Amino acid sequence: MRELIHDTDQLDALPPGARIVDQGVRATKTDDGAWLYETGMFWEPIRFPVRRIK
């Protein structure tokens, strides 16, 4: 699955465990809805679109 996400409403609708690529960096949605990036930091995507990869 490689759908494009265009806004925060679409991000919020994704289930925990969903993975995205945000400006070339991968992130996973945690159980509490935060985005954990592969750098170990928690961020909320602000530049769209992002790509859902799982």
Split the chain (54 residues) into runs of 10 and give each run's mean pLDDT: 90 97 96 97 94 92
Give Cβ neighbours of residue 29 (< 8 Å, ≥ 6 apart): 11, 14, 15, 16, 17, 18, 19, 20, 35, 36
pLDDT at 1: 58
What is the C-alpha separation between 22 and 36, in angstroms, rounded?
A: 11
What is the C-alpha separation between 43 and 41, in angstroms, rounded?
A: 6
Burial of 25 (C-beta count, 10 Å sphere; 0-12/13-18/19+) = middle
